[in-house]
């Protein structure tokens, strides 16, 4: 990966700081985890609104984090990813799994909001290891608000761990090859550009 010299740096090259802020803030106050929704919405705004991967190319804090630590600071071993990790079956299956897990967060939050579940002040890493995190919540909100925050933080931390592990062994931004948001926005952009082509073709044939 090409290193960016100081003279070539733009403000968005520092967005990796936002990743650090997000995880540090959630460590002390779990309600900051709600900010994670920004990472879900912005790529979709770019894809649906502009039909581009502009968010991935410039404004994704995680993409910038992987570039900075893997490429710029040299933490990446730079191995080539196996072909199956780049292939559609794995990327699509991972995307479906990822969004199913996100759907489960919404469902659990809904259950708690309707009195059918209770708040658990833990972080779940890699969907299996539970870590107590009670210091990060001092009360003062509805249980479902805190529950969503705990679950979203777990979700973001899990995907960050996978992204960092991928960065350490493979090339810096290898996570982006199978990142579920990247796969989804790529599908949206493809769909948008093929609809545009159809409209243009239709206009030329008239
Ligand atoms: S592929 Fe995912 S992690 Fe990579 S830049 Fe896009 S949204 Fe960010």
What's the pLDDT score for residue 193? Answer: 80
CA–centroid distance, residue 69 to ligand 1 (Å) = 15
| CB-count burial class (<10 Å; 0-12, 13-18, 19+) for 57 | exposed
Domain membership flag for residue 72: yes
Domain membership flag for residue 107: yes
Phi, psi of 131 (to 5 degrees): -120, 125
Task: Give pLDDT tens digits along the chain (206 positions).
Answer: 677 888 888 999 999 999 999 999 999 999 999 999 998 899 999 999 988 888 999 999 999 999 999 999 999 999 999 999 999 999 999 999 999 999 999 999 999 999 998 898 999 999 999 999 999 999 899 999 999 999 999 999 999 999 999 999 999 999 999 999 999 999 999 988 877 677 666 666 66
Domain membership flag for residue 70: yes
Q: Which two tokens stand for residue 5?
A: 């010299």
Give a three-class secondary structure readout of the chain.
CCCCCHHHCCHHHHCHHHHHHHHHHHHHCHHHHHHHHHHHHHHHHHHHHHCCCHHHHHHCHHHHHHHHHHHHCCCCCCECCCHHHHCHHHHHHHHHHHHHHHHHHHHHHHHHHCCCCCCCCEEEECCCEEEECHHHCCCCCCHHHHHHHHHHHHHHHHHHHHHHHHHHHECCCCHHHHCHHHHHHHHHHHHHHHHHHHHHHHHHHC
Domain of 105 in residue numbering reads as 8-191
**Nearest CA, atom 4, ligand 1:** 176
Q: Which atom of ligand 1 is nearest to the CA of 177?
A: 1
Q: Which two tokens stand for residue 144?
A: 């479902």
What's the pLDDT score for residue 203? Answer: 63
CA–centroid distance, residue 164 to ligand 1 (Å) = 13
Mutate-to-test residue for ligand 1 from 15, 60, 158, 175, highest number of ligand atoms within 8 A of CB: 60
What's the pLDDT score for residue 53? Answer: 86
Domain membership flag for residue 199: no
Domain membership flag for residue 134: yes
Domain membership flag for residue 62: yes
Q: Taking each helix axis as running N to C, give the angle between helix 88-113 and helix 180-205, from 0 to 180 degrees, rounded to the nearest 10.
A: 110
Q: Which atom of ligand 1 is nearest to the CA of 183?
A: 1
Q: How many domains does the chain have?
A: 1
Using a 6 Å cutoff on CB, does residue 181 contact ligand 1? yes
pTM of the model: 0.92
Mutate-to-test residue for ligand 1 from 179, 185, 186, highest number of ligand atoms within 8 A of CB: 179
Using a 6 Å cutoff on CB, does residue 172 contact ligand 1? no
Domain membership flag for residue 197: no
Domain membership flag for residue 1: no
């Amino acid at each position: 990966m090409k290193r960016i010299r100081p003279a070539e740096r733009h403000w968005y090259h520092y967005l990796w700081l936002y990743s650090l802020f997000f995880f540090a803030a959630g460590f002390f106050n779990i309600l900051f985890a709600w900010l994670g929704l920004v990472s879900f919405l912005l790529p979709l705004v770019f894809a649906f609104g502009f039909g581009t991967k502009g968010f991935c190319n410039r404004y994704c804090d995680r993409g910038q984090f992987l570039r900075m630590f893997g490429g710029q600071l040299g933490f990446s071993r730079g191995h080539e990813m196996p072909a199956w990790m780049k292939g559609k079956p794995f990327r699509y299956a991972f995307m479906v799994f990822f969004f199913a897990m996100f759907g489960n967060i919404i469902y659990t939050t809904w259950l708690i909001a309707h009195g059918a579940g209770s708040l658990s002040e833990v972080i779940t890493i890699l969907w299996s290891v539970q870590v107590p995190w009670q210091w990060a919540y001092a009360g003062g909100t509805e249980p479902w608000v805190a529950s969503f925050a705990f679950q979203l933080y777990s979700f973001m931390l899990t995907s960050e761990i996978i992204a960092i592990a991928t960065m350490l062994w493979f090339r810096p931004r290898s996570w982006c090859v199978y990142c579920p948001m990247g796969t989804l926005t790529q599908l949206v952009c493809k769909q948008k550009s093929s609809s545009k082509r159809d409209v243009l073709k239709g206009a030329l044939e008239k």
